[in-house]
């Protein structure tokens, strides 16, 4: 479990806008900038406070079902993800 190891401090939650700036990413919509991200998780395990990713379009069906707070992906894959999901 991320952050549960005694040698690792649990990171503070961060806004999606701040995370996007730090990673030099572009948000699909500025309205998603205030989404709070507290962890990173695999697409199937992610919940509303998690960031997940899409690097291979064969996993798009899993991304469309994810409960993740946001998905990070390449611009060419962004159009494959529902408009309501922060990308």
Biggest CA-to-CA distance, the chain = 40
| pLDDT tens-digit series, residues 46-61 | 999 999 999 998 999 9
Residues of the chain with pLDDT under 70: 1-8, 10
- Which residues have a Cβ under 8 Å from the Cβ of 86 and sit 6 or more positions away? 16, 27, 28, 29, 32, 35, 69, 70, 71
């Amino acid at each position: 479990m991320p952050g549960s190891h005694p040698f690792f401090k649990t990171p503070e939650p961060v806004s999606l806008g701040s995370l996007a700036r730090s990673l030099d990413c572009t948000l699909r919509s500025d309205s998603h900038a205030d989404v709070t991200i507290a962890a990173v998780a695999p697409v199937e395990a992610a919940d509303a406070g998690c960031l997940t990713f899409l690097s291979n379009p064969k996993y798009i069906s899993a991304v469309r079902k994810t409960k993740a707070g946001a998905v990070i992906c390449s611009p060419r894959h962004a159009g494959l993800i529902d408009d309501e999901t922060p990308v």
